[in-house]
Structure 1
Amino acid sequence: MTEEAIITGCLQFDPISQRALYNKYSPKMLSVCYRFAHNRQDAEDMLQEGFIKVFTQISSFENKGVFEGWVRRIMVHTCINFLKKQKKFSDSVDLNQADQYIHVREEAIPGIMQAKQVVECIRLLPIGYKTVLNLFAIEGYSHKEIAEMLDIQESTSRSQFTRARTMLEGILIRKKIIENPAGDAAWALNFNT
């Protein structure tokens, strides 16, 4: 079934088309949700809520841009709303917690870095750090957009991202996913703020 046929069927609330859409996009969208979630159950709940929105809002897709991108945006916003509803984003973070990690200077991650390992390390970050890092570095939102989505100041988004990057670098070094050569040189994530 083509994507166009799936969309047309979903507009008519055809269960076969809805199942086809779910089967086509759920693996990718689950990985999006998993990056924001505290655990697999939360990720699955986010995914389910997201697909309900996709099915109920599909008539608003105007064939401008890629359909998968439209679905992804709905999933990201669903994840943010889920975290807000669960009050998980408002969990306090000890700002001194980042200091216990190794501070490193900006360089490049080795090309052999395993993406799955990085995602698992991102999941270890406090929810606020993880959310801002995902939105800025992976989803491509600006700090202004993130501030609006999360009801925070733009400067808070920037500082959360900087702290997330520092903490993530420390986690990656501790887990020996990236090297920490002796002295002041170390590999670092090259995300631009």
Structure 2
Amino acid sequence: MAKIEKLLELTINGCKDNDRQSQKELYRNFYSYAMSICVRYTGSEADALEVLNDGFLKVFTHIEKFDISKPFKPWLRRIMVNASIDHIKKNLKHAHMADITEANVHQSVEEAPDHNLNYEEILHKVGQLSPAYRAVFNLYVIDGYKHQEIADQLGITESTSKANLTRAKAMLRAMLRKEVYQYG
């Protein structure tokens, strides 16, 4: 077993024993990774920090269920995604009304011209989507969920998931086209 894996195992075992120092160590070591997931779903650092802390609370509450023989990051990722979804669901009703208004403005959108954007620029554009569109886009495109799984997670219909993805892609194309024409 590699030294890093052994240290992680010791830290996780300390967390299982409710050792505060181990919890701080786990939080510190995985803060950036978990925060990047939360920001992608929430779109703001303030909301992401709230989700991150809720997520780590769930990690520490349920760490005894973690199988030490499995990789930790996928388990942590699932918890952070679920915490993000919980946050989105709390705010989804209000956000969906804004989505309908925004969708009417962007109904017909052409394909965006070729433009070399880096990953961070694209994620920044995704972060500008409304919460409902951003959630569906992230779950479908980035995390590989199927529309029925998204519908179950967010408490929406499968057709709403598909419509939100279509609208999210259209809005992203419009944003990218605007940037290409603006900065050329």
TM range (shorter): 0.7 to 0.9
The aligned residue for residue 184 of structure 1 is none
2:144 equivalent in structure 1: 140
Of the candidates 3, 28, 52, which is equivalent to residue 33 of structure 2? 28
CA distance in 1, matches of 2:64, 2:156: 31
Q: Is the 8 A contact 1:6 1:18 kept in 2?
A: yes
In the alignment, the residues of structure 2 paired with residue 44 and residue 68 of structure 1 have an alpha-carbon distance, to the nearest angstrom, of 18
Query: 104, 108, 120: which is aligned to 2:111?
Result: 104
Task: Give, in whole Å, the separation in 2 of the partners of 1:64 and 1:175.
Answer: 47
Q: Where does 1:175-190 land on structure 2 (aligned, <5 Å)?
A: 175-176=179-180
**Cα distance in 2, alignment partners of residues 169 and 3 from structure 1:** 42
Deviation of 1:89 after TM superposition, in Å, equals 5.2
Matched, 1:172 2:172: no
Offset, 1:98: 2.4
Corresponding residue number in structure 2 for 1:81: 86
Offset at residue 123 of structure 1 (A) = 1.1
Task: Verify the 8 A CA contact 1:90 1:128 in the aligned structure 2.
Answer: no
Give the Cα–Cα distance (whole angstroms) in 1 for the partners of residues 34 and 60 of structure 2. Answer: 14
Aligned twin of 1:124: 128
2:47 pairs with 39, 42, 45, which one? 42
CA RMSD in angstroms comes to 2.4
Structure 1: runs of 5 or more not aligned: 181-193
Q: Distance in 1 between matches of 2:94 and 2:154?
A: 10
| 1:89 to 1:130, Cα distance in 2 relative to 1, 3 A | farther
Deviations 1:57-81 (A, max 9, x none): 1111124642111101101110111
Residue in structure 2 matching 1:154, options 158, 168, 178: 158
Gaps of 5+ in 2: none
Contact 2:38/2:49 (<8 A) preserved: yes
Shift >4 Å, 4+ stretches: none
The question of whether the paired residues in 1 share the 8 Å contact of 2:38 and 2:51 is answered with yes
Q: Compute the displacement of 1:137 (Å).
A: 0.7
Higher helix share: 2
1:36 deviates by 1.5
Tell me the distance in 1 between the aligned counterparts of 2:70 and 2:136: 25
Match of 1:8 in 2: 13
C-alpha distance in 2 between matches for 1:64 and 1:170: 46
